[in-house]
Amino acid sequence: MKMARSGASASLIDEKKIYVFGGCWDVADSSNWVEVYDLQTDTWEFLSVFTPKMPLKIRQSVVTDNNKHVHAVDEDGQIFNFSATECAFESDGRRESNPENRSNWLFAVGDTIFCRGTGGKILWRFPSQLDWKEVHGLEELQQQHSGFDIIKMLIHSNERMAILWEARPQGPQHILELWYAEISMVRGCIDGVLEVLGTIEWSGPIFSDSSVTGLNLLFAETFYL
């Protein structure tokens, strides 16, 4: 890259280019605010874009609308939308509520943004809305692992995702386990209200160790064998 960054957002658009927004400390120079990596030519270049604000850090971002737009939230909670075809950012002044507890954004089930909440909850909303709602159907898992927090969410397909979390089963050995669950998602109505319904397809521990006190999961991704 041409510019050192911290707190930037990276988004793969059209499977061809990686757009990196923000994270550069010299916010006075707008020409440095966006960098693009072209996978075909293996080159980086600065991108001149119009934006009503150049935040230092991007808190969350997700690619939407057939890989043509990026929906992002900055460190102040302000919401931005980036268009790759128009090469411009726009903001209508809306702000994300409680952004520190709305992390790991994913886009699935057609046109829905998902994020991890607290207490093992998965939340969802449409890009045009601000109110997050809880995914139904995960209550049994939340009761089985009371008080757990999701470490990482992954997309398997448009209708299926996976979550990972840390668990400590009761017992004298104090074994630490990394658990994994695969969840299918569909939209449906409950009492006339549109909701997202989750079904746990499989869950179980995939790693255990009695010699460690904590886990730092740096990265996880889905691939097929």
Output DSSP code: residue 158: T
Q: What is residue 198's predicted lDDT score, i.e. its pLDDT?
A: 95
pLDDT, residue 173, reads: 65
Most confident of 133-137, 189-193, 217-221: 133-137
Kindly indicate the confidence band of residue 154, based on its pLDDT and cuts at 50, 70 and 90. very high
Say how far apart CA 152 and CA 105 lie, in whole Å.
Answer: 10
Measure the CA–CA gap between 60 and 76, rounded to whole angstroms. 11
Assign 151 a pLDDT band (cuts: 50, 70, 90). very high
C-alpha distances (whole Å) from 148 to each of 27, 71, 142, 167, 176 are: 38, 28, 7, 7, 13
Q: What is the pLDDT of residue 170?
A: 65
Burial of 81 (0-12, 13-18, 19+ CB in 10 A): middle
* pLDDT tens figures, 171-209: 666 788 899 999 999 999 988 899 999 999 999 999 888
Residue 161 pLDDT level (bands cut at 50, 70, 90): very high
User: What's the predicted TM-score (pTM) here?
Assistant: 0.86
**pLDDT confidence of residue 147:** 79
Q: List strand residue ranges (DSSP E) for 65-210, in order.
A: 69-74, 79-83, 88-90, 103-108, 112-116, 122-125, 133-134, 150-157, 160-167, 176-190, 193-209
